Chains A and B, each alone.
Chain A
Amino acid sequence: TQLLEQSPQFLSIQEGENLTVYCNSSSVFSSLQWYRQEPGEGPVLLVTVVTGGEVKKLKRLTFQFGDARKDSSLHITAAQPGDTGLYLCAGVNSNYQLIWGAGTKLIIKP
């Protein structure tokens, strides 16, 4: 069974601080996606990383795919209250199925 472990499960920090969320697995994924989910809504895709070692930036968010394509990280610089939400990673396996992490609930306090 493929698993994707996400950490931390919960993070509450002050506005302006930096943070990193991790997704780890013993399985290799063909690609990995990061989603953000706000209360009362469905997950929304932020980014897809495909190549081992790939780094993608989305404003203050930096996404990295591990060299072996088994892990990924999301780094937020100078977090803002608008970044508050549930962040989910999902790995794409060889059957084109999404394997979901449990999520990181992020709260940015003003």
Chain B
Amino acid sequence: DAGVIQSPRHEVTEMGQEVTLRCKPISGHDYLFWYRQTMMRGLELLIYFNNNVPIDDSGMPEDRFSAKMPNASFSTLKIQPSEPRDSAVYFCASSLALIGVGETQYFGPGTRLLVL
């Protein structure tokens, strides 16, 4: 399996522009997670889906952020409008089930976003 695939790997944009990050989870995984990682705040869970349905979006910073999962093999995280403080590495992860004994989240390589 190719693992979790994210695109783009790097994104540089100007403040106010719309940014769309994409993720393809591992085939057969029912759970998909979006994280943000910064030096100041570490790794933060933004939202997660189960069987394409958003379950917990309490980590989404504000209304400028939205996430969708139209099918089992694709998810997007959109920021509109983007701001410099959104600069971070955004990770997508997937798993067969919620974290428990023996369960593992598999992370993609991340998208490094820089908002100027």
Which residues of A does B touch, CB under 8 Å? 30-31, 33, 40-45, 48, 50, 88, 92, 96-98, 100-103
Contacts and interface: CB of A to CB of B under 8 A. Distances in A.
Nearest to B31: A96
Contact of A42 (B45, B98, B100, B108): B108
Given A41-B110, A42-B93, A42-B110, A31 B45 contact: no
A96 B100 contact: yes
Query: Chain B interface mostly helix, strand, loop or mixed?
Result: loop
Interface string B57-94: 00000000000000000000000000000000001010
A97 B100 CA distance: 9
Nearest to B42: A102
A31 B102 CA distance: 10
A40 B109 contact: yes
A45 B42 contact: no
B105 interface: yes
Given A98-B45, A100-B42, A45 B105 contact: yes
B7 to A, nearest CB: 14
Given A42-B108, A42-B110, A43-B43, 20 more contacts: A30-B101, A31-B99, A31-B100, A40-B109, A41-B107, A42-B4, A42-B91, A43-B91, A48-B101, A92-B99, A92-B100, A96-B98, A96-B100, A97-B45, A97-B56, A97-B99, A98-B105, A100-B43, A100-B44, A102-B42
Contacts of B102: 48
B104 interface: yes
A33 B93 CA distance: 15
A43 B102 CA distance: 17
